[in-house]
């Protein structure tokens, strides 16, 4: 769990912001997912989110929903994803965070967090487990070997932001807008104020996701936050080809780095 903290400390030292792409593992197949993850690590990704397929991804828009369905049709499970992580660890040490709903974790067994850590996973984000919803399972995740990354919505009051952040590790994932995941043509006008409110509530790095799909958007978020998360746009590009996904990643990374130059 210290690997994520070290990554943000290193980024701060060199005046760079974290780029966190999302991969829907198993779409179109595990071999292609592994190829994309390794190439992301070589092309500017500082942390990589690995999407665990789930049959009812209620927080996701059509792009990731369909991707998740294709991965499930391929029979992909958390165990397969952990085996893939073990394999990529032979070539890269880029931190990875499992992005999952609660049910797949429960189905994988109580030792899934330990198995994930042993495989080389550094963090866990659970989309459908808000603070206070299930204290027993939150304790299981919070006391486990992975950094438990918590989500904050733009409508969250400052006091609750601070409470959420106190129960999280690694970084805080700020959802840029209400609704589901998916590329958008613009950023919410109140995003700067939301980031400022969250800054006053935590010392953890702040990473912003949901709706970011273009280099200028990534650059704008990089001016505000410590990290930029891009999911649906990369999944959509990967549906065309791994090369299309990597070209988008290079453009997003260049946009972010242009802010800091």
Measured from the Cβ of residue 109, the count of other Cβ atoms closer than 10 Å reads 12
Does residue 193 have a pLDDT over 70? yes
The candidate with the shortest Cα–Cα distance to 98, out of 143, 47, 45, is 47
Does residue 98 have a pLDDT over 80? yes
Told to judge if 60 belongs to the known catalytic residues of this protein, a careful annotator would answer: yes
Check whether the bond before 28 is cis (ω within 30° of 0). yes
The candidate with the shortest Cα–Cα distance to 213, out of 225, 231, 188, is 231
Q: Tell me the CA end-to-end span of the chain in Å, nearest whole number.
A: 30
- Confidence band of 178 (pLDDT split at 50, 70, 90): low
pLDDT of residue 217: 93
* Euclidean distance between CA atoms 52 and 37, whole angstroms: 14
pLDDT of residue 180: 47
> Looking at residues 234-252, what average pLDDT do you find?
91
Told to judge if 143 belongs to the known catalytic residues of this protein, a careful annotator would answer: no
pLDDT of residue 61: 75
- Find the range with the poorest average confidence among 45-59, 135-149, 176-190, 236-250: 176-190
- Confidence band of 184 (pLDDT split at 50, 70, 90): low
Contact (CB, 8 A) for 99 and 52: yes
* Residue 179 per-residue DSSP state: S
Choice among 27, 29, 39, 60 that is catalytic: 60
> Looking at residues 137-156, what average pLDDT do you find?
96
pLDDT of residue 56: 84
Choice among 6, 27, 39, 49 that is catalytic: 49
* Euclidean distance between CA atoms 244 and 258, whole angstroms: 21
Burial class from Cβ neighbours inside 10 Å (0-12, 13-18, 19+) for residue 37 reads buried
Q: Is 57 in a helix, a strand, or coil?
A: coil
Q: Name the region of 182 (left: φ>0; alpha: ψ -120 to 50; beta: rest).
A: left
The more confident residue out of 56 and 204 is 204
- Confidence band of 60 (pLDDT split at 50, 70, 90): confident
- Find the range with the poorest average confidence among 171-180, 198-207, 230-239, 248-257: 171-180
- Confidence band of 75 (pLDDT split at 50, 70, 90): very high
* Residue 211 per-residue DSSP state: S
Q: What is the pTM of this model?
A: 0.94
The more confident residue out of 16 and 186 is 16
Does residue 241 have a pLDDT over 70? yes
- The share of the chain scoring above pLDDT 90, in percent, equals 84
Q: For all residues of the chain together, what is the average pLDDT? A: 92
- Confidence band of 261 (pLDDT split at 50, 70, 90): very low
Does residue 1 have a pLDDT over 60? no
The more confident residue out of 140 and 182 is 140
The candidate with the shortest Cα–Cα distance to 213, out of 11, 21, 82, 7, is 21
Contact (CB, 8 A) for 63 and 232: yes
The candidate with the shortest Cα–Cα distance to 91, out of 128, 37, 137, 143, is 37
> Looking at residues 8-36, what average pLDDT do you find?
95
Does residue 13 have a pLDDT over 50? yes
Measured from the Cβ of residue 5, the count of other Cβ atoms closer than 10 Å reads 17
- Confidence band of 260 (pLDDT split at 50, 70, 90): low
Does residue 113 have a pLDDT over 90? yes
The more confident residue out of 211 and 204 is 204
């Amino acid at each position: 769990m210290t690997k994520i903290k070290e990554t943000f400390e290193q980024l701060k030292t060199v005046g760079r912001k974290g780029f966190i792409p999302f991969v829907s593992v198993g779409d179109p197949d595990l071999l292609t997912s592994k190829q994309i993850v390794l190439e992301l690590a070589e092309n500017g990704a500082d942390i990589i989110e690995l999407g665990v397929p789930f049959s009812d991804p209620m927080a996701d828009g059509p792009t990731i929903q369909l991707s998740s369905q294709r991965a499930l049709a391929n029979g992909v499970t958390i165990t397969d994803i952990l085996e893939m992580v073990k394999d990529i660890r032979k070539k890269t040490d880029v931190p990875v965070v499992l992005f999952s709903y609660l049910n797949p974790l429960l189905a994988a067994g109580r030792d899934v967090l330990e198995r994930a850590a042993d495989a080389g996973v550094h963090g866990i984000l659970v989309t459908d487990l808000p603070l206070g919803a299930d204290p027993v399972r939150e304790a299981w995740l919070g006391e486990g070997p992975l950094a438990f990354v918590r989500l904050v919505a733009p409508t969250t009051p400052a006091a609750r932001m601070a409470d959420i952040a106190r129960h999280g590790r690694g970084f805080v994932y700020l959802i840029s807008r209400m609704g589901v995941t998916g590329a958008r043509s613009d950023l919410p006008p109140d995003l700067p104020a939301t980031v400022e409110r969250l800054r006053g509530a935590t010392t953890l790095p702040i990473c912003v996701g949901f709706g970011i799909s273009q280099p200028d958007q990534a650059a704008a978020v990089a001016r505000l936050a410590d990290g930029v998360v891009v999911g649906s746009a990369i999944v959509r590009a990967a549906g065309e080809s791994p090369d299309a996904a990597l070209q988008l990643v290079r453009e997003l990374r260049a946009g972010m780095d242009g802010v800091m130059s």
